[in-house]
Structure 1
Amino acid sequence: MNIGRAVLSLTAVTGLVALSACSAADASGGDGRLKVTASFYPMQYLAEQIGGGHVDVTGLTKPGTEPHDLELTPRQTGELGESDVIVYLKGLQPAVDDAIAQSGVADTVDAAALTPLEDHGTEVDGHHHTTGDNHSGDEGGEGDHGDEEDAGADPHIWLDPVRYAKVAEGVGKALAKADPDHAAAYAKNTTALVKKLDALDSDFVNGLKNRTSDTFITTHAAFGYLAERYGLVEEAISGIDPESEPSAARMKELHTLAEDKGVSTVFFETLASDRTARTLAGDLGLKTAVLDPIEGITDKSAGRDYLEVQHSNLQALRAALGAK
């Protein structure tokens, strides 16, 4: 009788353990890892670096796809709702913002809420540029270049290593909240990544010393925060939206500016069209080079990850600005 009860109790306990283990596996993607969905590469990079082996990260934006233009399939929208954590940047991809709002996922990390966004894309004192003092964090102004709808908060915060480090810290805290059992690992990985980003910041500061020019021309206004951080002036052919077309007045202004400021190089990107940039460079007899906004890593990227491509960007800026 007692033996029978013991067997029955053991069976019940075993069943409960199996049931709870199954539930835990279901909540974490079936293999015990936290299911994290990242909206595009810079968010995916943070989740992978901080999460390590404890997370299963899915990126919504395929390499080589322009993130601004992303449209989600019904399947992607459905899978989004199965995430444990979503890491995204509100305002960059409207389709993603809408899907997240309807997903019902409790643990979401909005990078735009972790560091203040600034309005790059509005005309300031008749000029279309972003400028700033070294490490000042003060506001800059970037032209809308004839496209009023293009004005507004600039989402490209990841190109400033200091702002990106703030986002990394927020992602680390979110992963720890969703998966307390591995909080120590997430904290350790966050600290290691922030240290690397601090070193990258120092590399930019030191690498851009003794430059002969502050001004560079880009295809679209992606580098406002980077320019502001290091006291540079970004002159963009298009505005925040890489698809916007520059006005004739803007092109004329760039011709004058390039001559006045001693601009040597017109930068284009790997994902956006380089047609206008190459035309402008050809008209002015300037060099062309790549300055990568790191919205995705492809075979054409000058590096295998965020840090490597940022170092390539630094070398390209050094050459264009005459840094010794």
Structure 2
Amino acid sequence: MATFYPMVEFTKAVVGEIGEVELLIPAGTEPHDYEPSAKDVAKIHDADAVVYNSQVFETWMNDIKSNLDVTQTNVIEASEGIELLAIEETDHPEASDEDGHLHSQDPHVWLDPILAIEQVRQIQSSLSEQFPEHASLFKEQSESYIKELEALDQAYQTATAQAKNRTFVTQHGAFSYLAKRYNLTQVAITGIASEGEPTPSRLATLKTFIQDNAINVIYFEENTSGKVAQTLAKETGVKLSVLATIESLTKEQQANGESYLSMMKENLEALTLSIQ
């Protein structure tokens, strides 16, 4: 079992056809808003393993772990060993989501292809210890997927290497790891919470920043309300484009063959509208 979409894809890349990987948070659900039901908790207790991103993102996991028989269920934190970025304080309340979950660190590590590789390797290592009879196959399958992630990283490096404009404006401040990896600057309208509301002073500051720095695109998420980005784009006369956090794929998206890899490639295409 894995908590949300990237963790499912990374885990499937490791186990292949050997095991079934069930998605815990329903397709199309905003993971920031999710709280496990009693039925969900029971599913976790019944699973051989559960893969989650981090204690910062799945804030409810600690409570479940405290009542879980870890000799029966292997709990794998994919971000273990990764240094999480601190959330920069601004004049808007970005460090908590609308359910009041406080975040002092940024959990969106999967949006950096190199850190995604580390997550895949963490999953592979833990499952190999749990199922040593499959260790060699897990390694072979994970390395095959990692080659695709390395190609993705190379594509981002190539596209951003010579860019003169290295700043992008996005509604959801989820792309700090991506920006750091490729020496870009993310300017967030809200913050870590996808549905956060900026203060009027923050909007005024952003409007001036966009006009003074010749920003031509504002990014928003397709599966969330983009009303703040839309308002700011209208006031500044710039275009809108989608930049996906890939936290959740709808059943329709999955049926159409979309994946973490395909959406990261779409994100790169979108970024090249402003990173030039």
5+ long unaligned stretches in structure 1: 1-36, 124-142
Within the candidate set 26, 49, 62, 1:62 is matched to 26
1:74 match = 38
CA distance in 1, matches of 2:63, 2:273: 42
Given that 1:39 and 1:96 are in contact with CA atoms closer than 8 Å, whether structure 2 keeps it comes out as no
Deviation of 1:256 after TM superposition, in Å, equals 1.2
Q: Aligned pair in 2 of structure 1 residues 102, 185: CA closer, same or farther (>3 Å)?
A: same
Q: Which region of structure 1 is more displaced relative to structure 2, 193-202 or 302-311?
A: 302-311
Q: Which region of structure 1 is more displaced relative to structure 2, 291-300 or 274-283?
A: 291-300
Report which of the two has the higher share of helix. 1
Deviation of 1:261 after TM superposition, in Å, equals 1.8
Secondary structure of the residue that 1:271 maps to in structure 2? Answer: coil
Given that 1:264 and 1:320 are in contact with CA atoms closer than 8 Å, whether structure 2 keeps it comes out as yes
CA distance in 2, matches of 1:167, 1:241: 22
Question: Is it true that 1:42 corresponds to 2:1 in the alignment?
Answer: no
Q: Aligned pair in 2 of structure 1 residues 303, 315: CA closer, same or farther (>3 Å)?
A: farther
Given that 2:80 and 2:122 are in contact with CA atoms closer than 8 Å, whether structure 1 keeps it comes out as no
2:258 match = 304
1:95 match = 60
2:112 match = 160
2:99 match = none
CA distance in 2, matches of 1:171, 1:72: 22
State the identity %.
32
CA distance in 1, matches of 2:201, 2:168: 19
Deviation of 1:268 after TM superposition, in Å, equals 0.6
Scaled by the length of structure 1, the TM-score of the pair is 0.78
CA distance in 2, matches of 1:259, 1:303: 38
Within a 5 Å distance, the mapping from 1:204-219 to structure 2 comes to 204-219=156-171
Structure scoring higher RCO (CA < 8 A, sep ≥ 6) equals 2
* Paired AA for residue 46 in structure 1: F
Q: Aligned pair in 2 of structure 1 residues 148, 188: CA closer, same or farther (>3 Å)?
A: closer
CA distance in 2, matches of 1:212, 1:118: 25
Within a 5 Å distance, the mapping from 1:93-242 to structure 2 comes to 93-106=58-71, 107-120=74-87, 122-123=88-89, 143=90, 145-147=92-94, 149=96, 152-242=104-194
Q: Aligned pair in 2 of structure 1 residues 216, 303: CA closer, same or farther (>3 Å)?
A: farther
Q: Which region of structure 1 is more displaced relative to structure 2, 283-292 or 72-81?
A: 72-81
Q: Aligned pair in 2 of structure 1 residues 253, 57: CA closer, same or farther (>3 Å)?
A: same
Q: Aligned pair in 2 of structure 1 residues 66, 233: CA closer, same or farther (>3 Å)?
A: same
CA distance in 1, matches of 2:159, 2:28: 29
CA distance in 2, matches of 1:250, 1:151: 20
Deviation of 1:144 after TM superposition, in Å, equals 5.9
1:18 match = none
1:316 match = 270
* Paired AA for residue 310 in structure 1: M
Secondary structure of the residue that 1:266 maps to in structure 2? Answer: strand
Deviation of 1:208 after TM superposition, in Å, equals 1.8
CA distance in 2, matches of 1:252, 1:243: 19
Deviation of 1:231 after TM superposition, in Å, equals 0.9
Secondary structure of the residue that 1:76 maps to in structure 2? Answer: helix
Secondary structure of the residue that 1:235 maps to in structure 2? Answer: strand
Q: Aligned pair in 2 of structure 1 residues 184, 77: CA closer, same or farther (>3 Å)?
A: same
5+ long unaligned stretches in structure 2: 97-101
Given that 2:27 and 2:248 are in contact with CA atoms closer than 8 Å, whether structure 1 keeps it comes out as yes
Q: Which region of structure 1 is more displaced relative to structure 2, 278-287 or 239-248?
A: 239-248
Deviation of 1:270 after TM superposition, in Å, equals 2.1
CA RMSD of aligned residues (A): 1.8
Given that 1:162 and 1:201 are in contact with CA atoms closer than 8 Å, whether structure 2 keeps it comes out as yes
CA distance in 1, matches of 2:133, 2:94: 49
Deviation of 1:111 after TM superposition, in Å, equals 2.0
Rg (Cα) greater in structure: 1
**1:2-55 deviation per Cα after TM superposition (whole angstroms, max 9, x unaligned):** xxxxxxxxxxxxxxxxxxxxxxxxxxxxxxxxxxx1011111111111100111
CA distance in 1, matches of 2:233, 2:253: 21
Given that 1:80 and 1:100 are in contact with CA atoms closer than 8 Å, whether structure 2 keeps it comes out as no
Given that 1:160 and 1:225 are in contact with CA atoms closer than 8 Å, whether structure 2 keeps it comes out as yes
Deviation of 1:152 after TM superposition, in Å, equals 1.4
CA distance in 2, matches of 1:306, 1:147: 25
Deviation of 1:306 after TM superposition, in Å, equals 0.6
